[in-house]
Chains A and B, each alone.
Chain A
Amino acid sequence: MSHHVAVNHLPPEGEKLQITKFLTWRIVLLLVGIAGAAASGFIFLEGGEQANSYAFSYLFALEVFFTITTGAVFWVLLHNASNSSWGVAIRRIPEVMTQLYLPLFVLALPIFAPYPLGSLKKPEWTQRMYEWIGIHAQIASNPPSGAENLRDGLALSHGTSLLYKKYPYLHNGFDLHGGLLPGWDLRVIIFFGLLFFIGRRMLNLSLEQDRTGAVGPTFRARFHACWMLPVFAVCSTFASIDWIMSLNYTWFSTMFGVNVFAGGALASMAVIILVVGTLVKTGHFRHIVSAEHFHLMGKLMHSFVIFWAYIAFSQFFLIWYANIPEETQFYAIRNTGGWWHFSLALVFAHFAIPFVFLLKRDAKRNLNAVMAASLFVVVVHMMELYWMIIPERGRSLYNFSSAPDNATFMRDVLFDGLAFLTFLGIYGFFLIRGLAKHSIYPCGDPRLEESVNVVS
C-alpha cells in the first residue's frame, strides 16, 4: 500500500480525461454506431420478415445496454445510500454511465414508438415480437360484433380471455377500459424518464460538489439515494416484465425482475472495472485509484456472480420442481434443441468459471486479471440476455424452431451482431464524450481522502 495521500495535495479541479488518447476510439465507435444505425434503419424501413427478425436482435442489444446502465444507477444509489467511502474515487464512472439513457431512449424508438408515423399503431415487427400487441391490433382492426372497445373485443374473441384479464396491464396508450395504469408504451417513457432523472440528480449533486467542495451535497445525495432506491426497484422490475417477460404473455415468474436486475448490476460493475482499468492503463487516476479499489470492485463482482446464480437457480429450480406447464414453457424451449447447450454453457460461464476465478485474491488485485474477468462477465451477461430473448424469435416467427433453414439462421446471427455493434458504437461514443466533460473522479467529495487511502 502506498503512503497516505492527503486530499490537500490533490489538484482542486480534479483530473480531466486525456481525450487525445481516445480520439481514435471515439471516431471508430461513432462510425460503427452511425453505420449500424443506418443499416438498422434500412432493415426496419424495408419491413417484412427481415425486420421482424431483426427486432429481436435489436431488443437484445437494447437490453444489454439498458441493464448495464440501470446497474450503474444502482451502484450510484447504493454508494450514496450506504454512506460508503471506498467507491468515491471511481464513482464518477457509473455517474456518467447513467447519463446514457438519452441515446438509449432514441435508439429504443423503433421498437416502442408508433409506426407508420402519425398513426397510433405499433410497427409490424413489434406486433410480431410482442404477440399480445399483434392480437390487440387484429381485434382492433376487425372487432367482433357487439364489442364496444378493445377489451370487450378480447372478451368476445376466441382464445383471448387471458389477454382480456391482463388488459389493465398489457395495453397501449392511456385507456380507461384498462384501469388507471398507463399503457405499455407510456411506461417506456416513464421508466426511461425516472431512471434518467435519478441519474441526472445524482450527477448534478456530485458536480456541484466538484465546484464548491461543500459537504452538503453528500448528505443531500444520501437523502435522495434512499428514496430513489424503491423508485429504481419498481422501474427496473417492470421494465424487465414489460420488455422481456411479456415477449411471451402467457409466462410469468415473480423472481424475473430480480433475475434481470442481478445480471445487470453484475455486468455494470464489470463495465465500471473495465473503464477504470482502461483509464489507469492510459495514465489516469494517479494517486486516486489503487489495487485496493480493484480488489473491492472484484469482490462486489464476485458477490454478484453468486447472487445472480442464487436467483437464477432458485427460479429454475422452483419451476422445474413444481412442473406446472404454464411455468415450465419458458425453460422447455431453452432446455431443448440447440438451446440446451446454451443453457448448460450459461451455468458454467455465468457462475462456475467466474466464481472459481474470482475466489483468488490476486485475480481481483491484478489489473489484467480483473479486467479479463470483467470482460468475460460482460460477455456472459450478453449470453444470458440472448438466452432470454432470442429463443422467443423461434417461438414467435419460426413455429418453435430456431430457424427455418441455415441461411435464415446465419442471417439472424449476423443481425444479432449488427444490432449489438450499433448499440456498442453509439453507447461507447457517448460514454467517452460523457467522461471527457467532467473530472473523472469527484474531486470535491469529503470522503475522497478516505477513498484514495482505502485498504481492502
Chain B
Amino acid sequence: MAEAANHDSHHAPHADGPSRAKVLLREPLVLNNRSFSWVTNRVAGIVENPQPWGWWWIVVPCALLAGFMAFCFTYLVSTGVGVWGPNHPVAWGWDITNFVFWIGIGHAGTLISAILYLTRQKWRTAVNRAAEAMTIFAVMCAGLFPALHVGRVWMAWFLAPVPNSNQIWQNFKSPLLWDVFAVSTYFSVSVVFWFLGLVPDLATLRDRCKPGIRKMAYGLFALGWRGGNRQWRHYEVAYMLLAGLSTPLVLSVHTVVSFDFATSIVPGWHTTIFPPYFVAGAIFGGFAMVLTLMIPVRKIYGLQDLFTMKHIDNMAKIILLTGTIVGYAYLMELFIAWYSGSLFEFDAFKWRILYGPYTWAYYCMFFCNVIAPQAFWWKKCRENLFIVMVVCMFVNAGMWYERFVIIVTTLARDFLPGAWDMYHPSWVEIWTFIGTFGMFLMLFLIFLRFLPVIAIAEIKGVLPEADPHYDPSMVKRDNVVAPPAYEGDPHEVSGQPATVTIPGAATV
C-alpha cells in the first residue's frame, strides 16, 4: 500500500458547511515586502561599499590583541608551559577552560545550518551564514589551546595516528585522542558546509563586480556557478547530505569533550549526564554569541528587515530552553551527588558551593547560566534589545565560568588534602585568552568585509514570492487572522531604501 495515507487525494473535500476554524498567519521572515533585488543590493552592498569607520576602530585593536597572543604563544613555546599557571594538582587551568569555552561557542553555527535545516526551520536563513562563520573562527580559537598545552609543540604531530619509526602509537583508549579526531572532523566538515552554502552568493558577488582581482577571486571560489536548474538540484542534494552528516558531528564534538572529564573517576567530573548537558550548554553558549555579534551587525548595516525581531525572539527562546536544560543538569548532578551517598562526590560539590575557595565562581556560573536567561520568559525582555544583549553577555561569561568551575574547583581539592593548592592564571594565560577574542573578532570582521553576512540565495527562498503556490489573495479571506506584532524595534516599521547607505561609512 504505497503512500496509503494519500487516499484522500482523490476525493473532493467535504462541503458540509464552513469550519469554525480560522487561519492564523505566520510572521513574515522578511519585513516590509522586500523584493529579491532589494535583498541582493542590501547584503552585497555591505561587501561592495567601504566599511564604516567603526569597523576600523574595532579591527585594528583586535589585530593587535591577536598579535600579542601570538607573542604569548611564542614565549610559551620558547620557555615552556611553566609560564602558565597550572600546578599540582590543578594540571588543567585556563587552557582547557578556554578550549571548551570556544569549542562550545563553535556549536551554534552548524546547529543552525544543519539541524534547523533538517527540521525545516526557515528562520535559520537570516542567521546561518554568520553563525557558520563564527563557528569556524571559534573552533580555530579552541584548537590553539590543546595544541599548545602539550608543552612540546613540535611533538604535536604525534596526535595523528601516522606510522612512525619509533613504533609509538596513540592511546586510542583516551578520550583526549578522540577529541583530536572529533574536533578536526567537525572543523573540516563545517568549513566545507560553509563554503558550499557560499557558492551561489560568491557567484552573485562575482557577477556584480567590475573586472579585476576581486572579480577573479570571487569567480575562482564560485566554482563556475551559473544558477542553472541542474546546478541548483545538485547543490540542494549536496547541502542536505552535508546537513545530515554534520548533525551527528555537532553532537559528537561536545559529547567527546564531555568524555574528557566524565570517563575519569574524579568526583565532580564523573557523572553520566555530562554528554547531553555539555551539548545543551554548547548550543546555549553558541546562540548567545551569535546574538552578541548579530544584534550590533543588523543595526550597523541596516539589516533589520532580514534579521528581524522574530529571529531574535526565536533565538532568545532557544537560549531560555537550553539554559533551563543546563540548570536541570546542574541540579541533577547536585541531587545525585547527595543521593548517591558517595562521600567524595558530595564533598566535591560542597567545596564548589558551600565553603571552597571558588564558591564565587560557582555562583557566577549559576546566576549567568540559569537565572539570567529566565528573563526570556517575558516577551518584553525578548523584545528589548538592550536586555537581550545583557543576558547574552551573562551567558557568554557564564559558560566560561562553567568550564572553570568544572575544571579548577574540582582539581584544586583532590583526594589528598596535603596536595591541595590554589590556581592562579599567569599574565601569559590571561593575555592569551584576551588575544583569542581579538583573533575571533578580527576574523569575523574580515568575514563581514569580504563575504555576504546573510545567505542571499537562501533568504530569497523564504520570501513569499518564492513559493510557487503563493496566493496574495489568501490574506483577504474572512477567517484569516494576523499574528501578533513585535514591539520594541522601531526600525522594522520604517521602510529602508534599496540603495545602501551605511551610517558612518568611510569615504575612502
Contact = CB atoms under 8 A, between A and B. Distances in A.
Interface size, B (range): 35 or more
Contact of B4 (A255, A323, A367): A367
A448 interface: yes
Contact of B341 (A165, A210, A256, A257): A165
A122 interface: no
A113 interface: no
Nearest to B328: A233
B508 interface: no
A230 B276 CA distance: 17
A290 B5 contact: yes
B160 interface: no
B469 interface: yes
A8 B18 CA distance: 5
B255 A314 contact: yes
A218 B7 contact: no
Contacts of B216: none
B7 A9 contact: no
Contacts of A243: none
A166 B324 contact: no
A8 B342 contact: no
Contact of A446 (B23, B339, B469): B23
Interface in B62-115: none
Given A11-B16, A447-B24, A448-B21, A291 B3 contact: yes
A233 B280 CA distance: 15
A287 B336 contact: no
A290 B9 contact: yes
A252 B332 CA distance: 11
A219 B274 CA distance: 35
B16 A310 contact: no
Interface in A149-176: 162, 165-166, 169
A215 B22 contact: yes
Nearest to B275: A314
Nearest to A323: B265
B277 to A, nearest CB: 8
A257 B333 CA distance: 12
Interface in B6-38: 6-9, 11, 13-24, 26
Contacts of B332: 237, 254, 257
A258 B276 contact: yes
A166 B339 contact: yes
B8 A10 contact: no
A253 interface: yes
B292 interface: no
A387 to B, nearest CB: 17
A360 interface: no
B11 to A, nearest CB: 7
B272 A315 contact: yes
A365 B1 contact: no
Contact of A326 (B6, B8, B342): B342
Contact of B273 (A241, A254, A281): A254
Contact of B274 (A227, A288, A318, A366): A318
Given A367-B1, A368-B1, A446-B481, A280 B7 contact: yes
B280 to A, nearest CB: 11
B341 A367 contact: no
Contact of A254 (B4, B26, B272): B272
A314 B21 contact: no
Binding site of A, secondary structure by majority: helix, strand, loop or mixed? helix
Contacts of A3: 9
B20 A444 contact: yes
Contacts of A448: 19, 21
Contacts of B21: 7, 10, 213, 443-446, 448-449
Given A314-B255, A449-B23, A2 B6 contact: yes
Contact of B5 (A213, A293, A444): A293
A5 interface: yes
A289 interface: yes
B222 to A, nearest CB: 31
A324 interface: yes
Nearest to B251: A310
A450 to B, nearest CB: 8
A322 B21 CA distance: 57
B5 A5 contact: no
B270 A324 contact: yes
Contacts of A286: 7-8, 11, 14
A104 interface: no
A446 B22 contact: yes
Interface string A355-386: 00000001001111000000000000000000
Nearest to A82: B317
Contacts of B23: 7, 446, 449-450
Given A218-B24, A326-B342, A368-B1, A255 B11 contact: no
A288 B272 CA distance: 43
Contacts of B270: 318, 322, 324
A205 B8 CA distance: 29
B476 to A, nearest CB: 13
A430 B9 CA distance: 32
Nearest to B334: A254
A10 B14 contact: yes
A133 B310 CA distance: 53
A443 B16 CA distance: 13
Contacts of B17: 11-12
Contacts of B484: 219
Contacts of A169: 339
B315 interface: no
A12 B481 CA distance: 18
B402 to A, nearest CB: 16
Contact of A290 (B8, B251, B265): B8
B262 interface: yes
A9 B479 CA distance: 12
Interface string B317-358: 000000010001100110010011110000000000000000
Contacts of A4: 469
Nearest to B252: A310
A336 B414 CA distance: 34
Interface string B364-401: 00000000000001000000000000000000000000
B2 interface: yes
B501 interface: no
Contact of B377 (A213, A226, A257): A226
B432 to A, nearest CB: 31
A215 B481 contact: yes
B4 A252 contact: no
B424 to A, nearest CB: 30
B20 A212 contact: yes
Contacts of B329: 254
Interface string A246-282: 0000101111111000000000000000000100110
Given A219-B484, A291-B3, 13 more contacts: A2-B6, A8-B18, A12-B19, A233-B328, A253-B272, A254-B333, A258-B273, A291-B4, A310-B275, A318-B263, A318-B274, A444-B20, A449-B23
28 contacts: A1-B9, A6-B13, A7-B21, A9-B14, A10-B13, A11-B16, A211-B20, A213-B21, A215-B22, A219-B484, A237-B328, A250-B341, A255-B276, A258-B273, A280-B4, A280-B7, A291-B4, A314-B255, A314-B272, A318-B259, A318-B270, A322-B262, A326-B340, A366-B1, A366-B2, A443-B20, A448-B21, A450-B23
Query: What 5 pairs between A and B have smallest CB-CB spacing?
Result: A213-B20, A2-B9, A446-B24, A254-B273, A367-B4
Interface of A: 1-12, 162, 165-166, 169, 210-215, 218-219, 226-227, 230, 233, 237, 241, 250, 252-258, 277, 280-281, 285-291, 293-294, 310-311, 314-315, 317-319, 321-324, 326, 362, 365-368, 443-450
Interface of B: 1-9, 11, 13-24, 26, 251, 255, 259, 262-265, 270-276, 324, 328-329, 332-333, 336, 339-342, 377, 469, 477, 479, 481, 484
